[in-house]
């Protein structure tokens, strides 16, 4: 009998725990994740892996859990340059009196390029490997993500009024389809339509977006039912709640990602479930702007896919998905009046596979399964705040701090190596951010 020679692969990751794909056996102990050519090619007990595979790189993560990279399903990355520029204000005052004037004055190609770099560096450092973004100059944001090696989906903005990025809805839509064409075969970057909100986009462009989204098979990413005022203004203006209007215009479908959704009637939850739409829940932004509470437990009971996002750094004020996950888990319990609502594993799914599903990327990312892209993070569970460790899943949701993230891979590329970013020049980035701060400072609210 001759022994079968070990198969050559690029990377073996031996970990104390691996968060696998199966719901009943979510946590595997002493397993090895096998990576090759940017993909997960196997997940098996460590004891078997050494016999079966031989690798160029072999890493033993003895106190860590390996899990899918976190998916931040909603944000405005470049707004990181406006972090802390206007706080402690309700949404409409915050937007109309502070954020929109600041954006009118400062947003440019360079602002978006540097602001997105800052956001990506912060996200990678805290375990996020994929984000959905809605902001002006998505061409520059895509350039930043592509250079760093980050996975992202850009919901190219569509709005009725002129901005530095375009003059009118027709031009915004054309720019979206052009960028979608340009990036159609990119391994990490994809595009979506980003109509800003029901109150800023009129019927004709929304109907066109619904039609084109189906034709191109890309998502529609939109702020929907963010505040009670949005609903009362809409009722006054056209007698309908915004979601009813969107449904009548043909926008409610599996492609729709409703961001926020803090104001939902039971029949609206049923409508979203029936049409397979997703929610991008942004609890910290909703709390900070006192916008309202998304009924997460009710949505999940109805079968609606609920994903998680930070929103922009100007209304959060960080892009830390571990923090967001803990807030979401706690808030869902408070809103439902039920401590068993949104248990730890469901909160983890919301931050991984549900986000991937909302973005139409669940065949590629969101879980550690053979054949999927190697978008993986390692989290240390031996820090003081994680001891003792009776239940690693509970630890990940209720006590993990993002500085416990030690390693991050996107499509098999190591982008965070033992806490150090490998593809961002931090010195240069800090210099650019400092220059922006000096320029913008006189316009901020003090
Ligand atoms: Zn937003």
CA-to-CA dists, residue 95 to 255, 303, 314, 315, 364, angstroms = 27, 33, 10, 10, 35
CA of 258 to the centre of ligand 1 (A): 10
Mean pLDDT of 188-195: 98
Say whether pLDDT at 205 is over 80: yes
Q: What is the DSSP string of 293-341?
A: ---HHHHHHHT-EEEE----GGGSS---HHHHHHHHHHHHHHHHT-TTS
Neighbours of 238 (CB within 10 A): 13
Predicted TM-score (pTM) of this structure: 0.97
Q: Which domains does the chain have, with CATH numbers?
A: 1-446 (3.20.20.140)
Cβ partners under 8 Å of residue 12, min gap 6: 32, 33, 34, 35, 49, 50, 53, 55, 57, 58, 59
340 CA to centre of ligand 1 in angstroms: 29
335-350 pLDDT, tens digit each: 999 999 999 999 999 9
Chain-wide mean pLDDT for the chain? 96
Give distance in angstroms: CA of 220 to centre of ligand 1. 14
CA of 18 to the centre of ligand 1 (A): 32
223 CA to centre of ligand 1 in angstroms: 6
Contact 264, 227 (CB under 8 A): no
pLDDT, tens digit (0-9, with 9 covering 90-100), for 248-270 = 999 999 999 999 999 999 999 99
pLDDT at 66: 98
Distance CA 389, CA 379 (A): 13
Separation of CA 354 and ligand 1 centre (Å)? 18
Does residue 1 have a pLDDT over 60? Answer: no
Give the model's pLDDT for residue 21.
Answer: 77
* Dist. CA 423 → ligand 1 center (Å): 27
Distance (angstroms) between ligand 1 centre and the Cα of 186 equals 25
Say how far apart CA 202 and CA 362 lie, in whole Å: 31
- What does the alpha-carbon distance between residue 295 and residue 341 come to, in Å, rounded to a whole number? 11
What residues pack around ion ligand 1 (CB closer than 5 A)? 311
Rounded to 5°, the CA angle 112-113-117 comes to: 110
Condensed to tens digits (0 to 9), the pLDDT of residues 85-122 reads 999 998 889 999 999 999 999 999 999 999 999 999 99
Percent of the chain with pLDDT over 70: 98
Cα angle 155-158-163, degrees, rounded to a multiple of 5 = 115
pLDDT of residue 2: 62
Question: Given this model, what pLDDT does residue 195 score?
Answer: 98
For residue 226, the CA-to-ligand 1 centroid distance in Å is 9
pLDDT digit string, tens, across residues 352-388: 999 999 999 999 999 999 999 999 999 999 999 999 9
pLDDT tens profile 20-33: 876 666 899 999 99
Q: Which residue has the tokens 């104001």?
A: 263
Calculate how far, in angstroms, residue 312's C-alpha sits from the geometric centre of ligand 1: 6
Per-residue confidence (pLDDT) for residue 207, from 0 to 100: 98
Q: How far is the CA of 127 from the centre of ligand 1 (A)?
A: 21
Token pair of 242 as six digits: 């915004």
């Amino acid at each position: 009998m001759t022994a079968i020679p070990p198969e050559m692969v690029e990377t073996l990751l031996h970990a104390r725990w691996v968060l696998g794909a199966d719901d009943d056996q979510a946590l595997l102990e002493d397993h090895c994740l096998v990576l090759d050519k940017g993909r997960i090619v196997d997940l098996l007990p460590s004891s078997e892996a050494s016999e079966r595979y031989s690798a160029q790189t072999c890493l033993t993560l003895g106190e860590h859990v390996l899990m899918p990279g976190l998916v931040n399903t909603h944000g405005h990355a470049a707004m990181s340059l406006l972090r802390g520029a206007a706080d402690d204000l309700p949404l409409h005052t915050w937007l109309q009196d502070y954020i929109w004037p600041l954006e009118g004055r400062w947003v440019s190609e360079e602002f978006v390029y540097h602001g997105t770099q800052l956001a990506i560096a912060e996200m990678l450092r805290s375990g996020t490997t994929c984000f959905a973004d809605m902001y002006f100059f998505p061409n520059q944001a895509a350039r930043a993500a592509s250079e760093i090696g980050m996975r992202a989906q850009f919901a190219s903005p569509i709005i009725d009024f002129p901005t530095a990025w375009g003059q009118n809805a027709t031009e915004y839509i054309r720019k979206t389809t052009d960028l979608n064409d340009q990036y159609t075969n990119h391994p990490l970057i994809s595009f979506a339509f980003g109509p800003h909100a029901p109150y800023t986009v009129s019927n004709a462009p929304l109907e066109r977006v619904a039609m084109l989204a189906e034709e191109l098979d890309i998502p529609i990413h939109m702020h929907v039912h963010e505040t009670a005022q949005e609903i009362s203004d809409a009722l006054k203006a056209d007698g309908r709640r915004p979601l009813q209007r969107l449904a009548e215009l043909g926008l409610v479908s599996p492609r729709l990602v409703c961001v926020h959704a803090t104001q939902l009637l039971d029949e609206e939850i049923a409508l979203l479930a029936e049409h397979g739409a997703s929610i991008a829940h942004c609890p910290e932004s909703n709390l900070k702007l006192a916008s309202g509470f998304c009924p997460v437990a009710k949505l999940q009971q109805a079968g609606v896919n609920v994903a998680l996002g930070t929103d922009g750094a100007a209304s959060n004020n960080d892009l830390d998905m571990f923090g967001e996950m803990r807030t979401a888990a706690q808030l869902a319990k408070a809103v439902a009046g039920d401590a068993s609502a949104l248990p730890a594993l469901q909160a983890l799914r919301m931050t991984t596979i549900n986000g991937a599903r909302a973005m139409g990327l669940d065949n590629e990312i969101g879980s550690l399964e053979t054949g999927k892209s190697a978008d993986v993070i390692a989290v240390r569970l031996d820090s003081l705040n994680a001891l003792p460790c009776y239940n690693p899943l509970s630890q990940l949701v209720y006590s993990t701090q993002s500085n416990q993230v030690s390693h991050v891979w996107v499509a098999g590329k190591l982008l965070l190596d033992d806490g150090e970013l490998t593809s961002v020049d931090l010195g240069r980035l800090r210099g650019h951010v400092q220059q922006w701060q000096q320029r913008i400072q006189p316009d901020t609210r003090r």
